[in-house]
Structure 1
């Protein structure tokens, strides 16, 4: 069911564009990344291995079809408060969470604040260390005049990674430029000073870190592995596995929920 929900978060009026489905199980809450939208996850309705799963996905403030009365108020802490308000509005107590990129960072801080409500966390290339947001930091540090969003967009267009062209084409239609600076600034601040990696490792429930093969050189992957985080490397993809290889991504998430150890990276292929 598609809905538009009216919320007021930290004095800001929001009209949240959401899609959800009820079910007998605790819901999966999906949080999309910067420049994407709730539609990244709506194929869950086509997957037989998720047939009985309740879910909630919505466009973050500043993104997609969600309307926000004050774009300048949007940063990562604001997104966390919005997520809490959405959970309360939907009557969701305990839940599984899946978050990609900016959504993964939002999910991490949400889960860190209220770990007792979270049953599991699939972190799809969410920010954990400064190396995750090097392009964002580079754009913010640019000294020449010009539009921040346009500089970021041009950098994506010049990129050679999987799905970079598709992502660049989506960006102007899925992000409000007025929200960009606050989001970027807070992501970089949290990556540098938010102790995100240790927060992630300390979460007391099953966790999976899912990433495309282009990201297999991330320096912290061995540490995640050594601390019991399930790793899922998706072939033929990079930062956007939901775009580049959605079939493998959905299959891997389903295996995580089913406890299917056959899908895990063999020990011989690890570090």
Structure 2
């Protein structure tokens, strides 16, 4: 498999910051943040394998495989020593794995609307989901052709689930979306900031608070009015601030503060 596509923005020799996007998206989501911090960081904005200009994995990778692959690529191919990982949604899931499995590479973690732990679901909601799933499976068995199956998926499935068929990523989608990293969180020892939008229905604040509770010393930030995607643009200043807060203090910074 070819190395994943990336663009580089910033100042060579400055602290390295790696950006991992969400499902169905690309490196472009983080360009405004990287450009705003260009004098202070050496930013690598990746198209994760299977997205954008990057070749998809040959197997149905979960986030463990994604994390191990990205760690090897950053360390062995790109010469990373230490870096900050900034991950949105799927990139956040991968970031949790990276921080747990490669603490010698990841020195700081910033999760933006990331998942990785199950949502709290009421008994009534569980019943409705099970009923809907049974209905889908019954109609799926009756589908006469692929066109009818696709229409059923559009009716019953999420936007990402439907799109995963068209992109040839269905196996990877189902492998990653159902993972539960709850028991791994306590082993994350790097400084971690979690940023979530109050109006996010894909990864709602309860998910962020649960992850923050599981990671020792993690800081949780909730932004009013923002959802799963608007947090990338309208919330970009908070993301940039979280990155900047973790950078080493230089002599010029100390002089300015004085």
Tell me how far apart the structure 2 counterparts of residues 149 and 69 of structure 1 sit (CA, whole Å): 27
Counterpart of 2:25 in structure 1 is: 36
Counterpart of 2:65 in structure 1 is: 78
Counterpart of 1:268 in structure 2 is: none
Write out aligned runs for 1:253-268 (5 A). Answer: 253-254=242-243, 256-257=245-246
Tell me how far apart the structure 2 counterparts of residues 212 and 116 of structure 1 sit (CA, whole Å): 30
Distance 1:217 1:101, change over 3 A: closer
Tell me how far apart the structure 2 counterparts of residues 219 and 18 of structure 1 sit (CA, whole Å): 29
Q: Return 5+ residue gaps in structure 1 as ranges.
A: 1-12, 157-166, 260-271
Write out aligned runs for 1:87-106 (5 A). Answer: 87=74, 88-106=76-94
More strand, by proportion: 1
Q: Return 5+ residue gaps in structure 2 as ranges.
A: 141-148, 249-258
Alignment of 1:211 with 2:196, yes or no, is yes
Distance 1:256 1:198, change over 3 A: farther
Among 213, 227, 232, the residue aligned to 1:238: 227
Distance 1:212 1:68, change over 3 A: same
**TM-score if structure 2 supplies the norm length?**
0.71
Name the count of aligned residue pairs: 226
Shift of 1:235: 2.6
What are the superposed Cα offsets for residues 176-232 of structure 1, whole Å, 9 maximum, x if unpaired? 6311232323330x22xxxx2342343112111110012465166177359421111
RMSD of aligned C-alpha atoms? Answer: 3.8
Computing the radius of gyration over CA atoms, which structure comes out larger, 1 or 2?
Answer: 2
Poorly superposed stretches of 4+, deviation over 3 Å: 72-75, 137-142, 147-156, 241-244, 246-252
Counterpart of 2:103 in structure 1 is: 115
Counterpart of 1:229 in structure 2 is: 218
Distance 1:187 1:200, change over 3 A: same
